[in-house]
Structure 1
Amino acid sequence: MTLAGCGAGGAATGKPGAEASRHTSGRKADPTRIPGVADSLHKKIPRDARQVLAVYGEDEDSAEATVRLYTKEGETGEAWSRKRSWPAHNGKKGWTPAHHEGDKRSPVGVFTVSDAGGVLPAPDAKLPYTNSDAFTPPSHWPKATRHDFDHVIAVDYNRVRGTTPLDPTRPQGQSKGGSIWLHLDHGSGTSGCVSIPKSGMRYLLRTLDPDRHPVVVMGDKASLAR
């Protein structure tokens, strides 16, 4: 997708996460697992990943979601600790394991996170950050979306890692879509991205560290649990 196809999103308020939740009744959560994520996706999380953003969509056809940050402390620790949680939005038509250009759904899966950027500078960002007016949304977009791309974090879906989020290269072909970002939320669904509050974005820019190999695990709750 081009920038204009990435999706929409604008502003809400983040809140600190509580202790790791339990997603199964009557069974103690395994601290070495990301809650609500089944083996089929869990095994795709790289062994060296020390930061995981889990995006829990409410339903396959819903645009409502929750983003939670989990970390492993130390170089050898195996337990995941939940650090923060924010309300979020995903594709306006929900989720799909077979995302394609223009379907208005967010892709289900496990993806690395390696690059960031935006209209505004982020001097405290740990990920490589591209500050450029080229992130400015098109003038024909609704007024509510004007600040969607003040800051973005690229999800490494059908893109070249180590490049600006604006890079249009699509290694799997144009039909598979692209420009799937985390960006600022404006209160409703996107064209495929995940949108979060400004406070959450600023926290993630200061926290996501390439030396800790961050990844995002994203999908509707039913798909994540399969």
Structure 2
Amino acid sequence: MKSIIKEKTKIMVVDDDPEIREVISILLSNEDFDVIEVESGENALKMLTTNIDLIILDVMMSGMSGYQTSKMIRERSNVPILFLTARTQNSDLILGYSSGGDDYLAKPFSYPELIARVKGLLRRYTVYQGKQLSERKTEYLVWNDLRVDCCCNMAWRCEEELELTSTEYRILRLLLSHPGQIFSAQNIYESVWEEPFFSTDSNTVMVFIRKLREKIEDDPKHPVHLVTVWGKGYRIE
């Protein structure tokens, strides 16, 4: 009888501090993750493959910074990126999300917090990846020149495929599910991130709305699809 061996989830840990890499590697290995340790952004780019399921990326590294590395990763992959940083000012968070990060883990961090962040990102990314082609049915959301395939997690504008991250896709799908309805920043955050909302999370939502507009609007500074309803939130028109 042939046994089936399930491939472990692969996580790349990128940090120029070997002690931090070792600690994270031990914690993740205890959860049965396959961990790849990398000491620089340059090497992370060399080792990036489609088999990597998540990247934990230190912000402040010698040579290429975490932000620079994230931007270059985003040119090749939508793999979820968890930033590891001691800098958690709003401006730092906005810069991180703008460079392609999906979430933040502040130093020093606890074991439960690390595992919760990792598993949350992996869960959302798995939903984004969708079902296997052989299993899926076709289900579309269509509004004006925007179209979303809810089963294979793809989106188009004027029949041109949009290159969206998992978070951008989930926001667009949420808004297209209820065109004309106003969604507050809290509505969006709790629906997409599936985590409790705090006031500082408004900046996170704002950054992703701005990134999404750059992909679906002719003039992102004067949007006609994804509009702001001042004092209330956002909606698709």
- Structure number having the greater helix percentage: 2
- Structure number having the greater strand percentage: 1
Larger Rg: 2
Query: Is TM more than 0.5 here?
Result: no
Q: Which of the pair has the greater relative contact order for Cα pairs under 8 Å at 6+ separation?
A: 1
**TM-score in terms of structure 1 length:** 0.28
**TM-score in terms of structure 2 length:** 0.27
